[in-house]
Amino acid sequence: MSGPSLQRLTLLSVIFHITFFAAALLVIRQSSRFVMPSPYIVNLVGPDVRSTGKGETHAVTPAPVPAPTPTPKEKKAMPAEKTKVVKQRSLDKAEEKYVSEQIAALEAKKRIERVAKLRNVISLKGSGEGKQVAPRGGGMRGGSAGIDDYYAKVRDDIYRNWGLPSALSDKNLEAVISIRIMKDGTVYVNRIEKPSGSSLFDRSALNAIAKASPVTPPPYEMEIGVRFYP
């Protein structure tokens, strides 16, 4: 049996190589193809959207922006004009206080002078000795025995109507009230020449004078001072 001829072997070799190259070319073409993923929609107005790569989308919540740390407020410097106004107000208050004190001192001085000018002053002591003790401040001045007796009657009339509050019986108080006695015995209060500093004590003295009016008619219209003390 004779072997294959040279021509036959050459033809088989050519067919084999052509088949091999054709198969290789087919494999290369198939491997170069790729699959496009499914399209997805992005909302450009709404929140951020993140794609998972599998055709699904998820909204992405933006990270919160931290609030700015408040800085301490700096003290504003007071304008020069405002500082001047504040100082001026302080000076005005000091001046007002000084003027008020001077006015009060002058009024006190005038009251003392008016008391000293009273021709007659009778005194009433709330402890029950008002009718027996001599008037404080030098007694009743400027008159005969008849006038002195009349002052004693006026003192008794007022004393009988004076109800000294028991809470003030041991206080160091003194009130001087100027009164005018008309010819018919009616008594008018001119002014409180010296307040005691206790409104309750002063009211009790004024009430005693009001209740005592009218007193025994005087020989003529007169002005006298009545001193009250516990």
- Give the mean pLDDT of 149-173: 90
Distance separating alpha carbons of residues 51 and 59, to the nearest angstrom: 9
> What's the pLDDT at 171?
85
Which CATH number is correct for 120-229, 3.30.420, 3.30.1150, 1.20.58, 1.20.140?
3.30.1150
- 121 burial (CB, 10 Å; 0-12 / 13-18 / 19+) is buried
Q: Residue 112 pLDDT more than 50? A: yes
Strand order in the sheet with 187-194: 121-125, 222-229, 175-181, 187-194
Give the highest mean pLDDT range of 93-107, 142-156, 194-208.
Answer: 194-208
Domain residue ranges in the chain: 81-117, 120-229
Give the highest mean pLDDT range of 38-47, 58-67, 105-114, 166-175.
Answer: 166-175
Query: For residue range 3-34, what is the model confidence (pLDDT) as tens digits?
Result: 557 778 888 888 887 888 888 777 777 665 55
- Residues in contact with 173: Cβ distance below 8 Å, sequence separation at least 6, in sequence order: 196, 197, 198, 201, 229, 230
Q: Residue 141 pLDDT more than 50? A: no
Q: Which H/E stretch holds residue 28? A: helix 6-31
Residue with tokens 């004076």: 162
Distance separating alpha carbons of residues 78 and 202, to the nearest angstrom: 51
Distance separating alpha carbons of residues 45 and 39, to the nearest angstrom: 19
Which of these, 69, 40, 68, 70, lies nearest to 56 by C-alpha position? 40
- Give the mean pLDDT of 158-165: 92
